[in-house]
Amino acid sequence: MDYQQHTLPSGLRIVLRPARGQVAYLGVAVGVGSRHENGRQHGLAHFTEHMLFKGTRKRNARQIIQRLEGVGGALDAYTSKEETLVYAVVPQAYFSRSLQLLSDIVCSSIFPVEELELERTVITDEIASYEDSPSELIFDEFEQLLFRAHPLGHPVLGTVRSVSSFTKRMQEDFFHRHYHTGNMVLFVQADIALEELVQRAEELFPSKGQRGARALETSTMIAHPPQYQLRRRQTHQRHVIIGGYAYSMHSPKRLALNILVNLLGGASMNSRLNLLLREQNGLVYHVECSYTAYSDTGMVAIYFGCAPRHMSRAIELVEGELLRLCQEPLSETELLATKRQLKGQLAVANDNPETTFLSLGKNYLHHGKVDSEEELYERIDAVSPELLHEVALEVLHPSLMHRLIYA
């Protein structure tokens, strides 16, 4: 799908994917996440995102909720390590109302003290519920193992101790430092002309602070030697992650790694690890392989849960499959089938308008462009068996893998 773009003098970047229909999708992507926090702020980006819904100069928390929910729309947000997205899905007839509300939230939030105390309790409960879910918690702890003191190493939610220390002043300072037009992308998928969208954005998003996208605040990334850690948890299963460092989101080898990760443990039941561990040996109910790319590094992780008696055999099979991938390059037939499957999965995903909309915002924030389906398919087709073999050796060799086990 084609998109249109424009940058305002304030630095606000606008990207529009025109779409006819009864529903409008619009959001603001902000280039701030948990990696932009200092040591005393762990969890502050996420807490700030929650507080955006708790009051502005024009509206209190109830009015913010009612403004879109009352007409059948929805307002949502999320915070990750490197971005915060605030977005709305509404009937097209209420596009103007939604744009006004989004601008109010990201430009004029006031962080009421009484709401801050209530939300502190909510987030403390969120942290506790997360710690009750070992299949989720283990990914956070694996990133801590991998990245350690690097800003990517601490969890997005923070800790109960850090969240308990946040004040109104801390939130205001964080908000004014990061929530400025030069650090934002307004992304829209709706039935509106670019000229009209630009005019409205100029009126609703005043210039504030820096102009132009803020440079990423980086820390030196140190790749640590592979580690094995066993952590005691009160769980019936063993939870295991085997993984290591990977390419950044800007690496030309990123797509090749995505192909291998999908082949190994993607969402399909015919992935190599699912066939090997579940279908052929009955050792696990679920196994997955994921690749998370950041601006200056990345992480690949294979996760599974299994009965204690099956753990050693499952680890042996996973590492054997990784070694096989490094020693036996894909045949032309296997490569064609793997590429065909990935392109089919992308086609299905792109048929979901909310998926394409969120991808529009995130990709434009980090890359300043969005590949069309045709461009992405061409890039997939261009990946050679030789490149895949090179990537397997650089990222997926068993000798490079860290292990984290809950027992």
Q: CATH code at 330?
A: 3.30.830.10
pLDDT attached to residue 215 = 47
Q: Answer yes or no: do 265 and 184 share one domain.
A: no
Residue 373 domain boundaries: 228-406
Q: Answer yes or no: do 147 and 269 share one domain.
A: no
Q: Answer yes or no: do 283 and 320 share one domain.
A: yes
**Domain count across the chain:** 2
What would the mean pLDDT of 180-187 be, rounded to a whole number? 98
Q: What token pair was written down for 367?
A: 């890359």
pLDDT (tens digit, 9 = 90+) per residue, 376-386? 999 999 999 99
57 vs 218: which has the higher pLDDT: 57
- Report the C-alpha gap between 186 and 29 in whole angstroms: 7
Q: Answer yes or no: do 34 and 123 share one domain.
A: yes
Q: Answer yes or no: do 45 and 162 share one domain.
A: yes
Q: What is the pTM of this model?
A: 0.94
Q: Answer yes or no: do 271 and 197 share one domain.
A: no
Q: Answer yes or no: do 257 and 177 share one domain.
A: no
Helix (H) or strand (E) holding 106: helix 95-108
- Report the C-alpha gap between 76 and 74 in whole angstroms: 7
Query: Half-sphere exposure (CA, 13 Å, Cβ side) for 20?
Result: 0
Q: Answer yes or no: do 240 and 375 share one domain.
A: yes
* CA–CA distances in Å: residue 144 to residues 39, 45, 156, 232, 245: 14, 18, 11, 16, 12
Q: Answer yes or no: do 137 and 242 share one domain.
A: no
Instruction: Note whether residue 126 is domain-resident.
Output: yes
pLDDT (tens digit, 9 = 90+) per residue, 305-362? 999 999 999 999 999 999 999 999 999 899 999 999 999 999 999 999 999 999 999 9
pLDDT attached to residue 226 = 95
Instruction: Note whether residue 213 is domain-resident.
Output: no
pLDDT (tens digit, 9 = 90+) per residue, 125-146? 999 998 899 999 999 999 999 9
CB 365 within 8 A of CB 186: no
Q: Which of 188, 204, 220 is a domain's end point?
A: 204
Instruction: Note whether residue 209 is domain-resident.
Output: no
Coil, helix or strand for 180?
Answer: coil
pLDDT attached to residue 210 = 56
Q: What token pair was written down for 360?
A: 């529009």
Percent of the chain, pLDDT > 90?
Answer: 93
pLDDT at 54 over 90: yes
Instruction: Identify the band that residue 217 occupies on the pLDDT scale cut at 50, 70 and 90.
Output: low
pLDDT at 1 over 70: no
pLDDT at 209 over 70: no
Q: Answer yes or no: do 235 and 167 share one domain.
A: no
pLDDT attached to residue 212 = 47
pLDDT at 218 over 70: no
